[in-house]
Structure formats: structure tokens, C-alpha cells
Amino acid sequence: MTTGVLLLHGSSGKPDLSYVGYYQQSLRMFPEQAEAAQIPAERFGGDLLLMAGGDDHLWPSVKFAKQIALRRGTLITQVLISGPGHKWCGS
């Protein structure tokens, strides 16, 4: 069973909980509900910018951004950055 993990955040040494395992477990256990909860980005007619941090400890944002991009198909710009996580700026 996958669960949250306590990590140390950068050089600050402050605790940083990871909930990605909970999200992944929930996606496996409740696939119908997960599908129903998807953001219907394919219905949006304008340009779409997706930004996802590769070190996101809240949820699997890169995976979700890629899924949206696949469903969307066109008129999309993806920005997938390996460094930052869910919090993009500030300290």
C-alpha cells in the first residue's frame, strides 16, 4: 500500500509531506470517480497553457498535465519543469 512520505525540503531541513502516493492509490482504487473528476479541458475552445512541476509532492501534476494534453490534442502549450514542485514561488 502506497502512503504519504515525510521528506526534508531542500537545504532548509523543514518537513515536507508528500501526498502523491495517496493520489496514485486513489486513482487505482476508484477509477470511475477519478475519470468523472477530470477537468474537461477538451471542451475549452481557446489556447491552453499547462504548467506542472516535476518535484510536486502534493499530487502527480506532470502525469495529470500530460493526460489533459492527450485528451485536448491541439491548441495547447505544456511547460513541464523538473525542479519546482507544487509551490512555484516564495519561500
pLDDT at 27: 92
Q: Which helix (H) or strand (E) holds 24?
A: helix 20-29
**First CA to last CA distance, the chain:** 32
pLDDT at 50: 80
Strand partners, 4: none
pLDDT at 3: 43
Residue from 13, 12, 64, 62 nearest 38 by CA:
64
Q: What is the rounded (10 degree) CA torsion for 34, 3, 29, 71? A: 30
pLDDT at 36: 93
For each successive 10 residues of the chain (91 residues), what is the average pLDDT? 44 65 92 91 81 81 85 70 60 48
Supply 21's cell numbers: 502516493
Distance between CA atoms of residues 9 and 85, nearest Å: 11
pLDDT at 33: 95
